[in-house]
Structure 1
Amino acid sequence: MTQPVVHHVIHDHSAPVFDTCALTYDQRLMRRRVLTSDGGTAFLVDLQQTTSLNDGDLLVLDDGRHVRVTAAAEPLYRVAGDLARLAWHIGNRHMPCQFAGDHLLILRDPVIGHMLADHLGAQVEDVEAPFVPEGGAYGHGRTLPHAH
């Protein structure tokens, strides 16, 4: 039996799913890659262009089944303090950032963690959690180059 192939992604979060596939933020940027679903089914993702997959997107297998992408837990910093000021500094360094009410979540980076805690007075805590950062102004998910 040949391996199922994914040629497109849909954003219909209500469609029935066959399985899920937990991926980190970096893993959710892809064009061509072999993945294994959480239930153990291997499949090839072969998209026309590099795509940023969002938590909840559906990979459509060539046999019609759907695999839901989920954000996997990964090493992050939980950042608290003067959120507007801290978010400005994080954005100024072009770091993806998830707004979570009374704190921010960012990918763990010791240099940025040091800057936030020691130079900007933030409370920085190591956590493991799914990471779904704010999308760019020109689309959903991470900001990719855009054509005019």
Structure 2
Amino acid sequence: MADLTSQQIQRAVTAGQDRAQPLDHCLLGYDERFLRRKVIETAGGWRLLVNLGRATSLDHGDAFVLEGGGLVGIRAAPEPLYAVTGELLRLAWHIGNRHTPCQVEPSRLVIQRDPVIGHMLSHLGATLAEIQEPFTPERGAYGHSRTHAHEHGATPHAQ
């Protein structure tokens, strides 16, 4: 296994930007894709030190930029989730009201497994299926990457 922890990754690029093919990739779960400083291991066995300027939320398809050039792709790793079906609009409202990250699809909602939220949804008539898939929830409404860092009071957008 190559150890490239002496090489720091200080920048990431988003999916869709015109760029070269990644040299390797890393599999990261949803919570692992929110990072600032961390040693990661790639599928090819490289150990890399990610040292971003601020905590950053990364998505499937984004990439880390290596110091010497080249990219390491980011892929969403399969993780334990619930597939939620039923009265989706009503269930989505309750999920959002609890600030729970949610992947919205035409025929289901997907959330991280949480027994308390699962119990609430079952009580509301939802059907829950335990699944193991990559998790790519919706991003925040105002361009924020994660849903837990916001306020309920007046914002510059509401003035």
State the TM-score bracket (shorter-chain normalisation). over 0.9
| One-letter identity of the residue aligned with 1:128 | Q
* Structure 2 portions without partners, runs of 5+: none
* Structure 1 portions without partners, runs of 5+: none
Q: 57-66 vs 5-14, which deviates more?
A: 5-14
Q: What is the alpha-carbon distance in structure 1 between the residues aligned to residue 37 and residue 105 of structure 2?
A: 32
The aligned length equals 147
Q: Is the 8 A contact 1:5 1:61 kept in 2?
A: yes
Q: Is the 8 A contact 2:25 2:72 kept in 1?
A: yes
Q: CA RMSD in A?
A: 1.8
When normalised by structure 2's length, the TM-score is 0.86
When normalised by structure 1's length, the TM-score is 0.92
Q: What is the alpha-carbon distance in structure 2 between the residues aligned to residue 91 and residue 137 of structure 1?
A: 12
SS in 2 for 1:39: coil
Q: 1-10 vs 99-108, which deviates more?
A: 1-10
For 1:1-148, what aligned pairs fall within 5 Å after superposition?
A: 3=5, 4-13=7-16, 14-15=18-19, 16-117=21-122, 119-139=123-143, 141-143=145-147, 145=149
SS in 2 for 1:27: helix
Q: Is the 8 A contact 1:133 1:141 kept in 2?
A: no
CA distances 1:36-85 after superposition (whole Å, capped 9, x unpaired): 01111110000000001111111001111101111100000000000000
Q: Is the 8 A contact 2:38 2:49 kept in 1?
A: yes
Deviation at 1:143, TM superposition (A): 3.4
Deviation at 1:100, TM superposition (A): 1.8
Q: Is the 8 A contact 2:36 2:54 kept in 1?
A: yes
